[in-house]
Structure 1
């Protein structure tokens, strides 16, 4: 009897601890984990709730202030697991366990939607081009007035006082250069005809040089500002999140970038035009571009470094096998595809 009582006393704390709700760490990463009207929601949150319901697990959420803080809760044993957009990496695997993948992801580049248009406009609206346009207008005006000197009293179009002839003379010179002039306004004097020929021939060279300058500016601007690959990020203001796989990816390639502890801070900086590009998780950027950044951001199609998200668990967690089996059941019965379609519009 004494031995039985001793065994019961030893088992009572274990039984009590088995009934304690699990602590699940998370961090705000829309659309995987976020708060809406005081309620935890998101793709990863709802997936975990499916697993917990399937396994009959009680739990409470602990929302960390940063992604690294969430993982620290797992490695320190303060949390029984973590759920969000957690990429599986060798470095993290050495410190914790992971379940089977819950989402296939990768890294992607996001740039302002009007990136090329704004850059081209700023390149074209320059002091040199403005001076060139003013010089061309001055030459046309001067040429028109000189033709007025040659043709007044000989051609009806130019037979008017100097003050009244200013705009008609400029208009005549502009049409001569652009359209070859008007048949009914052919110069009548020899000096006028000679000057008209010089003006037309000279304008061919001037217009060709001006067009070449504009074309060269547009080409160079398009090449310098178009972002289609990692190499195009050189010299750009690039942002990502501190401690993320995206930051490690850029650092491994010695690519300069700004790191932000907070995702929202980085996205706010991008929306204010202080970043030329953002390099981060593909689904996170896609969600932002389709919601808060709609119309102002676009994603480069190429996906860099494909990776998987999974639930993080403390090393040696007894929950790993149960959760893996539950995830397989959720995929097999179609609940996973329905959940993914709900949040991302497609099952795959």
Structure 2
């Protein structure tokens, strides 16, 4: 009996030490959790380390490849908790517990960044516009040569051989349409004057039609390509992470989307121009647009479906109350605001 008690006493410290070391799951989601080999950093990582230090908790990180794997480990009780950009939803609440909110978030739309000047050039350099410009040049050339026929021998400007008169005649017609012509080069013959009047009057209609065509092309292009709201996503190539709150949101709006399992794969697809828009968590998209996607992505101002991030714990976890109290202390002493400023540039 004494031997059994001795063995139990020897085993108890080992068991206690094993239980004291918590396992916290996380996934690569910059800037909340960033995994670079054995180094793990990020806003949520730093916040958890503050909590663990306050509560004197020993822990080790367990990294996984996907967000779904991380949540499955929590709901099954295989880990003691999880940190990243974990949105609190009713569906997840039924499978696990959450701490006090650690970050206010929401869904946002990211689209390719396009300079307005490049958009105008893209609209102008089209087959229809090119044909219209060629037709205008041909009409001006024909009109100038016809004026040469009328004014040859009567006007010093047109008194030259046909080969030498080609460009001067075209230049005269172009200036007549654009600037009203030159007073010193006014036609002298009756047919020339009559034709010049017809050319000026006709140019008013021609220029109006030409300008209207360009305006219509730019308007149609803007309506077809610009994304300024959720309604503009209809028929566009939308990307998000499958199983995320963004995918649930898009399905509830009957919007077709391309669901990726990996966030890096989603951003790569966007960078290659294969997506017209990405719908995902606002801070994640903002971090991408300000870093890897700088100059290539922009975010729409409106935030859809406000959400809160929190630390996830297995249902009934005894750590929840302690962690909540620690989070409140971190907010009260200003540590939270300093941490947020470190990762996002401002406390709010």
Q: SS state of the match for residue 111, structure 1?
A: strand
> Are residues 1:168 and 2:168 paired?
yes
Which residues of 2 match residues 95-134 of structure 1 at below 5 A?
95-114=95-114, 120-134=120-134
Offset of residue 10 of structure 1? 8.4
Contact 2:27 2:35 in 1 (8 A): no
> Take 1:274 and 1:120, find their aligned partners in 2: how far apart are those partners?
22
CA distance in 2, matches of 1:13, 1:50: 26
Distance 1:12 1:43 in 2: 34
Output one character per residue of 1:121-140: Cα deviation in whole Å (capped at 9) or x when no partner. 43332211111110011000
- Residues 189-204 of structure 1 mapped to structure 2, 5 A cutoff: 189-204=189-204
In structure 2, the partner of 1:278 is 278
In structure 1, C-alpha distance between the alignment counterparts of 2:24 and 2:101, rounded to whole Å: 17
Instruction: Give the stretch that moved more between structures: 220-229 or 163-172.
Output: 220-229
Corresponding residue of 1:340: 340
Distance 1:117 1:315 in 2: 55
**Residue ranges of structure 2 left out of the alignment (5+ in a row):** none
Q: Which moved more, 1:3-12 or 1:203-212?
A: 3-12
Find the counterpart in structure 2 of residue 15 from structure 1.
Answer: 16
CA contact (8 A) 2:82 2:313 kept: yes
**Displacement of 1:222:** 1.8
Task: Report the counterpart of residue 240 of structure 1 in structure 2.
Answer: 240
Q: Which deviates further from its counterpart, 238-247 or 115-124?
A: 115-124
Contact 1:75 1:95 in 2 (8 A): yes
Q: Contact (CA 8 Å) 2:110, 2:279: kept in 1 or not?
A: yes
CA distance in 1, matches of 2:102, 2:340: 10
Q: How many pairs does the alignment contain? A: 347
Once the two structures are TM-superposed, the CA of residue 165 in structure 1 deviates from its matched residue by 1.2
Unaligned 5+ segments in structure 1 are none
1:1-348 map, 5 Å: 5=5, 8=9, 14-19=15-20, 21-36=21-36, 38-114=38-114, 120-348=120-348
Structure 1: 4+ residue segments shifted above 4 A? 1-4, 6-14, 115-120
Cα distance in 2 for partners of 1:108, 1:116 equals 22
**Cα drift, residue 14 of structure 1:** 4.8
SS in 1 for 2:25: strand
For residues 186-209 of structure 1, the C-alpha deviation after alignment (integer angstroms, 9 at most, x for no partner) is 001111111111111111111111
Give the distance between the partners of 1:217 and 1:179, measured in 2 at CA.
Answer: 26
Given that residues 116 and 226 in structure 1 are in contact (C-alpha distance below 8 angstroms), is that contact kept between their aligned partners in structure 2?
no
Given that 1:237 and 1:258 are in contact with CA atoms closer than 8 Å, whether structure 2 keeps it comes out as: yes
Supply the distance in 2 between the matched residues of 1:224 and 1:115 (Cα, whole angstroms).
16
SS in structure 1 at match of 2:306: strand
RMSD: 1.9
1:307 aligned counterpart, secondary structure: strand
2: distance between equivalents of 1:2 and 1:315?
39
Contact 2:26 2:64 (C-alpha < 8 Å) held by counterparts = yes
